[in-house]
């Protein structure tokens, strides 16, 4: 019986359907929302240019300033001026500033190490053309200097105390911003680091007022509108369950806050703060509560036609938890709005924090920028001092993180944005570079769709800093993909432009990198910053979907080598895909299921394979269920068919009916693989008892079956 079935020409059709179904399923799987991350590991094969200063000691590098052609790097006792193109140092404008011997001796006496007792430059601003303000830790005695830059020489004009402006410890997480002739700083104002403050001479947050600041780590500060915004994380005062929890915050002060009346003279009258919500939505949202870094404020279009100002943040889980990191974006309108909501209030210690009812809020509303804050009523100033916390957290854009990384090897630490990169079709996308605490930089593209469901694609993951050093800071350099990566002891200029590494259209389009497009004329994957406008019509790009079908031109289809993937092969296919992407590293064999180890060169390819596998598993399951259903359908059909054959009146021509029926069908359907003809097939098998005239069948069978294997001989045998 089985033999009969196998011999049947129908088996071809069955096979054909199966293949078609699988092909449809596999391509459906390509259309379904892609939650996976595109990972290309380029393991340290990237060429980078390194600047290590005087490499004999820790430098605690920090980028102080950047202009079109140079970056200013603050380090140990020096400011270095580097060309942003090739990282060559402009030695003429190097500034050297050592702590005096008396000061560094005092520092040693207080028990600090020799490395601590140095002057780490933390702040630089050009206050006026040719006038520079520079602050350093100055051996745990923060100090600022005004320099004049005349005839290529820097000369000290005056020296002032830097307490409250510059940190004592070069590792302290401080921030400062200069706006409208004034320096706003968020740091600590004592040797031991126990007095955090947000300061602009002479206003400061209250000394040891835990409602205002509670063991904060400051991340960034930006001017926006009438305000200066500060981003930081701190121990949450409103969390009254046992244990301590850290929340991320955004705080603001008015630029023209002049302090309050009388004894409030040196306090802020506008200091307010609120929580930043970066969470995976659900009944019990999962929070990423510890902000590590923010971008600048960026203006752009995200899904709608209206342009908005947003800021990207990196937020992580606590350091004692599983390493989870997320990128959340915040719309500045949402930030402003949460400062317009209710204030939070606690009646007594251990009581819950509740929103303050509207009638208890004084007029004018505290926290607004007023003409002269010194004229405010005392009850007004008192209210804001005791109610600095807002009820509503700032929601993340799209209500959820743009990207989540859960990883045993690293957390995200820093972010910088190449904003609103224009594509061939004049769409715009933000390209983000994200640093990790083990020396990697991810290149990420934020793809918001009209539906406001942002889909973020990781284009590449690159090891930049050796020995797993943490990335502290990132800056964009000129040229698509150029990024300055700051570690504690060295700074590198890296080019994360992967266009030329893509060998065919499929790879180029699939990358979804707004920097790259396939040039059909030159047949290369080009970087768009190297194209003149008039050639744009030769370019193929699809950032939204990475849809390779746009590549279907004769020469490209040849290169694409279309293949039908049967479910069992999916895992292998993932492996080979990564292998392809990473062919420089032929020593790496990304065999599936291998340990996810982090070797010295930071090779993490196996992790990447694993991540993909995890993601594919659910889909593979889905495919297998569908295939199983189809197979059982077919089996049922075959059994039914066999039964119908069984109870058939015995035929005079024992072997022929199979062929005849088949041939008749071919005549009806015209093509081998016509889906629509299938129901007819079934009908026909059941109904067509009298076989059609033999002769026609013979011809048709010859025509048709030559293309097929195996059956041909049998058919011939039957008729000869």
Question: How far apart are CB 623 and ligand NAG at their closest, in Å?
Answer: 22
| Using rule CB under 6 A, residue 423 touches ligand NAG | no
543 touches ligand NAG by CB under 6 A = no
Return the sign of the alpha-carbon dihedral for residues 707, 708, 713, 714: negative
Binder of ligand NAG out of 281, 303, 323, 691 (CB under 6 A): 281
Q: Which of 277, 338, 497, 604 binds ligand NAG (CB under 6 A)?
A: 277
C-beta closer to ligand NAG: residue 399 or 657 = 399
Burial 172-196 (b: 16+ CB within 10 A, else e): bbbbbbbbeeebbbbbbbebeeebb
**Identified binder of ligand NAG from the candidate list 399, 466, 468, 657, rule CB under 6 A:** 399
Considering beta carbons, is residue 397 or 432 the nearer one to ligand NAG?
A: 397
Pair of tokens at residue 165: 């402006």
Site string for ligand NAG, 437-456 (x = CB under 6 A): ------------xxx-----
CB nearer to ligand NAG: give 6 or 69.
Answer: 69
Q: Does 473 bind ligand NAG (CB under 6 A)?
A: no
Phi/psi at 273 (5° precision): -145, 160
| Smallest distance, ligand NAG to C-beta of residue 285, A | 4
Q: Say whether 178 sits in a helix, a strand or coil.
A: strand
Contact call for residue 393 and ligand NAG (CB under 6 A): yes
Helix (H) or strand (E) holding 21: helix 10-31
Interface map 84-123 toward ligand NAG (x if CB under 6 A): ------x--x------------------------------
How crowded is the C-beta side of 248, counted as CA atoms within 13 Å? 28
Residue closer to ligand NAG (CB basis): 333 or 572: 333
Would you put residue 215 in left (φ > 0), alpha (ψ -120 to 50) or beta?
left
- Minimum CB distance to ligand NAG smaller for 344 or for 704: 344
Q: Does 173 bind ligand NAG (CB under 6 A)?
A: yes
Q: Which stretch binds ligand NAG (CB under 6 A): 115-123, 260-268, 279-287, 634-642?
A: 279-287
Please state, in angstroms and as integers, the Cα–Cα distance from residue 305 to each residue in 310, 400, 427, 452, following that order.
15, 21, 11, 12
| 279 touches ligand NAG by CB under 6 A | yes
**CB-wise, 175 or 705, nearer to ligand NAG?**
175
Residue 644 CB burial class (10 angstroms; 0-12, 13-18, ≥19): exposed
In angstroms, the Cα distances linking 361 to 268, 274, 386 are: 18, 17, 12
Among 11, 70, 386, 520, binds ligand NAG (CB under 6 A): 70
**By C-alpha distance, which of 176, 160, 170 is closest to 137?**
170
Task: Kindly identify the residues of this chain, within the stretch 32-61, that bind ligand NAG according to CB under 6 A.
Answer: 54, 56
Beta pairing, strands 272-275 & 70-74: unpaired
**325 near ligand NAG, rule: CB under 6 A:** no
Q: Does 269 bind ligand NAG (CB under 6 A)?
A: no
Work out how close the CB of 422 gets to ligand NAG at its nearest, in angstroms, rounded to a whole number: 20
- Residue 541 binding ligand NAG, by CB under 6 A: no
Return phi, psi of residue 603, to 5°. -70, 120
Among positions 171, 195, 209, 588, the unique one binding ligand NAG when judged by CB under 6 A: 171
Q: Is 248 in the site for ligand NAG (CB under 6 A)?
A: no
- Classify residue 151 as exposed, middle or buried by CB count within 10 Å of its CB (0-12, 13-18, 19+): exposed
Closest to ligand NAG by CB, 193 or 300: 193
DSSP secondary structure of 439-488: SEEEEEEEE--TTS--EEEEEEEEE-SGGGPPP-EEEE-SSTTEEEEE-S
Residues paired with 313 in a beta bridge: 294, 328
**Least distance from C-beta 73 to ligand NAG, angstroms?**
11
Q: Is 468 in the site for ligand NAG (CB under 6 A)?
A: no
CA distance 404 to 316: 9
Does residue 455 contact residue 469 with C-beta atoms inside 8 Å?
no
Residue 107 Cβ, how far from ligand NAG at the closest point, in Å?
17
CB of residue 585 vs ligand NAG: minimum separation in angstroms?
30
Interface with ligand NAG by CB under 6 A: which range of 66-74, 115-123, 369-377, 614-622? 66-74
**Which one, of 278, 205, 670, 293, lies nearest residue 475 by Cα?**
293
Is the previous residue joined to 364 through a cis bond, with omega within 30 degrees of 0? yes
Whether the Cβ atoms of residue 648 and residue 639 lie closer than 8 Å to each other: no
Per-residue DSSP letter, 698: H
Is 72 a binding residue for ligand NAG by CB under 6 A? The answer is yes
Q: Residue 131 or residue 449: which is nearer to ligand NAG going by CB?
A: 449
Identify the H or E element spanning 623. Answer: helix 605-646
Q: How far apart are CA 676 and CA 658, in angstroms?
A: 21
Binder of ligand NAG out of 172, 488, 610, 645 (CB under 6 A) = 172
CB of 89 to ligand NAG, least distance (A): 9
Token readout for 247 is 């929340």
Q: Which is nearer to ligand NAG, 334 or 507 (CB)?
A: 334
Asked if 313 and 276 touch (Cβ cutoff 8 Å), the reply is yes
Q: How far is the CB of 544 from ligand NAG (least distance, A)?
A: 9
x/- map, 288-307, ligand NAG, by CB under 6 A:
----x---------------
Query: Which residue in this structure is represented by tokens 């902000």?
Result: 291
Q: Which of 551, 572, 547 is nearest to 560 (CA)?
A: 551
Segment near ligand NAG (CB under 6 A), from 206-214, 392-400, 415-423, 622-630?
392-400
**CB closer to ligand NAG out of 279 and 697:** 279
Pattern of binders to ligand NAG over 352-391, x per CB under 6 A? ----------------------------------------
Q: For ligand NAG, how many residues bind (rule: CB under 6 A)?
A: 23
CB of 543 to ligand NAG, least distance (A): 14
Q: Per rule CB under 6 A, is residue 395 in the interface with ligand NAG?
A: yes
Coil vs helix vs strand at 72: strand
Shortest Cβ distance from residue 132 to ligand NAG (Å)?
7
Q: Specify the residue, 4 or 406, whose C-beta has the smaller distance to ligand NAG.
A: 406
Backbone region of residue 130 per phi and psi (left: phi > 0; alpha: psi in -120 to 50; beta: other values): left
Distances (CA, A) of 352 to 277, 338, 339, 359: 20, 20, 20, 20
Question: Nearer to ligand NAG by C-beta: 269 or 446?
Answer: 446
- Rounded to an integer, what distance in angstroms lies between the CA atom of residue 218 and that of residue 187? 7
Identify the CA nearest to 253 among candidates 145, 166, 180.
Answer: 180
- Which residue, 236 or 578, has its beta carbon nearer to ligand NAG? 236
Verify binding: residue 266, ligand NAG, rule CB under 6 A.
no
| φ, ψ at 677 (rounded to 5°) | -75, -5
Least Å from the CB of residue 639 to ligand NAG: 40
What residues form DSSP beta bridges with 184? 177
Coil, strand or helix at 234:
strand
Q: Cβ of residue 309: shortest distance to ligand NAG, in angstroms?
A: 20
- Closest CB to ligand NAG among 254 and 393? 393
Between 54 and 307, CB nearer to ligand NAG: 54
Residue 262's contacts (CB-CB under 8 Å, 6 or more residues apart) are 378
How far is residue 411's CA from residue 314's CA, in Å, rounded to a whole number? 10
Q: Which of 130, 194, 202, 285 binds ligand NAG (CB under 6 A)?
A: 285
Residues in 210-229 that interact with ligand NAG by CB under 6 A: 217
Interface with ligand NAG by CB under 6 A: which residues? 54, 56, 69-70, 72, 81, 90, 93, 171-173, 217, 277, 279, 281, 285, 292, 393, 395, 399, 449-451
């Amino acid at each position: 019986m089985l033999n009969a079935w196998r011999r049947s020409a129908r088996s071809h059709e069955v096979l054909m359907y199966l293949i078609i179904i699988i092909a449809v399923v596999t391509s459906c799987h390509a259309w379904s929302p892609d939650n996976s991350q595109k990972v290309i590991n380029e393991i340290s094969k990237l060429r980078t240019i390194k600047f290590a200063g005087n490499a004999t000691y820790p430098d605690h590098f920090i980028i102080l300033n950047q202009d079109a052609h140079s970056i200013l790097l603050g380090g140990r006792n020096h400011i270095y001026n580097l060309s942003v193109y090739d990282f060559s140092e402009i030695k003429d404008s190097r500034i050297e500033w050592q702590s005096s011997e008396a000061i560094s001796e005092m520092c040693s006496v207080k028990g600090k190490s020799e490395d601590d007792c140095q002057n780490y430059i933390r702040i630089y601003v050009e206050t006026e053309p040719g006038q520079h303000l520079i602050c350093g830790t100055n051996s745990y005695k923060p100090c600022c200097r005004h320099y004049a830059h005349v005839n290529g020489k820097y000369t000290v004009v005056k020296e002032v105390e830097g307490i409250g402006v510059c940190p004592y410890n070069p590792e302290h997480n401080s921030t400062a911003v200069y706006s409208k002739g004034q320096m706003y700083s968020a740091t600590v104002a004592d040797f031991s680091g126990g007095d955090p403050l947000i300061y602009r001479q002479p206003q400061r947050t209250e000394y040891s007022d835990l409602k205002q600041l509670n063991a904060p780590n400051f991340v960034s500060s930006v001017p926006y509108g009438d305000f200066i915004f500060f981003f930081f994380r701190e121990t949450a005062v409103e969390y009254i369950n046992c244990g301590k929890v850290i929340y991320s915050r955004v705080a603001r002060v008015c630029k023209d806050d002049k302090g309050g009346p009388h004894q409030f003279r040196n306090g802020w009258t506008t200091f307010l703060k609120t929580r930043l919500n970066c969470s995976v939505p659900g009944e019990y949202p999962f929070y990423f509560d510890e902000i590590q870094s923010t971008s600048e404020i960026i203006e752009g279009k995200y899904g709608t036609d209206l342009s908005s100002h947003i800021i990207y943040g990196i937020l992580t889980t606590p350091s004692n938890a599983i390493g989870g990191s997320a990128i959340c974006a915040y719309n500045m309108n949402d930030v402003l709005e949460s400062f317009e909501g209710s204030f939070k209030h606690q009646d007594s210690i251990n009581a819950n924090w509740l929103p303050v009812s509207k009638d208890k809020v004084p007029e004018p509303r505290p926290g607004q920028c007023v003409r002269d804050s010194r004229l405010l009523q005392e009850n007004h100033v008192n209210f804001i001092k005791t109610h600095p916390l807002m009820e509503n957290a700032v929601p993340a854009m799209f209500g959820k993180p743009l990207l989540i990384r859960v990883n045993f090897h690293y957390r995200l630490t820093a972010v910088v944005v190449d904003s609103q990169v224009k594509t061939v079709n004049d769409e715009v996308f933000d390209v983000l570079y994200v640093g990790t605490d083990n020396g990697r930089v991810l290149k990420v593209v934020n793809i918001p769709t009209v539906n406001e469901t942002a889909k973020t694609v990781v284009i590449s993951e690159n090891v930049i800093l050796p020995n797993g050093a943490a990335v502290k800071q990132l800056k964009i350099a000129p040229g698509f993909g150029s990024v300055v990566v700051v570690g504690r002891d060295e700074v590198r200029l890296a080019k994360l432009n992967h266009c030329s590494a893509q060998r065919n259209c499929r790879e180029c389009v699939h990358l979804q990198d707004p920097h790259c497009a396939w040039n059909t004329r030159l047949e290369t994957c080009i970087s768009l910053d190297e194209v003149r406008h008039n050639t744009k019509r030769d370019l193929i790009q699809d950032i939204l979907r990475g849809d390779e079908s746009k590549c279907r031109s004769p020469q490209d289809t040849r290169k694409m080598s279309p293949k039908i993937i049967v479910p069992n092969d999916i895992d292998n296919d993932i492996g080979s895909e990564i292998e392809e992407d990473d062919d420089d590293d032929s020593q790496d064999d990304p065999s599936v299921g291998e340990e996810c180890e982090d070797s010295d060169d930071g090779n993490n390819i196996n992790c990447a394979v694993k991540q993909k596998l995890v993601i594919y598993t659910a889909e593979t399951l889905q495919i297998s269920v569908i295939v199983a259903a189809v197979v059982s359908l077919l089996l049922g059909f075959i059994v039914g068919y066999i039964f119908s054959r069984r109870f058939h009146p015995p035929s005079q021509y024992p072997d022929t009916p199979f062929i005849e029926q088949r041939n008749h069908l071919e005549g009806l359907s015209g093509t081998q693989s016509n889906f629509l003809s299938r129901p007819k097939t079934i009908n026909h098998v059941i109904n067509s008892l009298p076989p059609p005239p033999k002769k026609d069948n013979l011809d048709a069978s010859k025509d048709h079956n030559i293309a097929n294997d195996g059956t041909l001989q049998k058919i011939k045998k039957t008729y000869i």
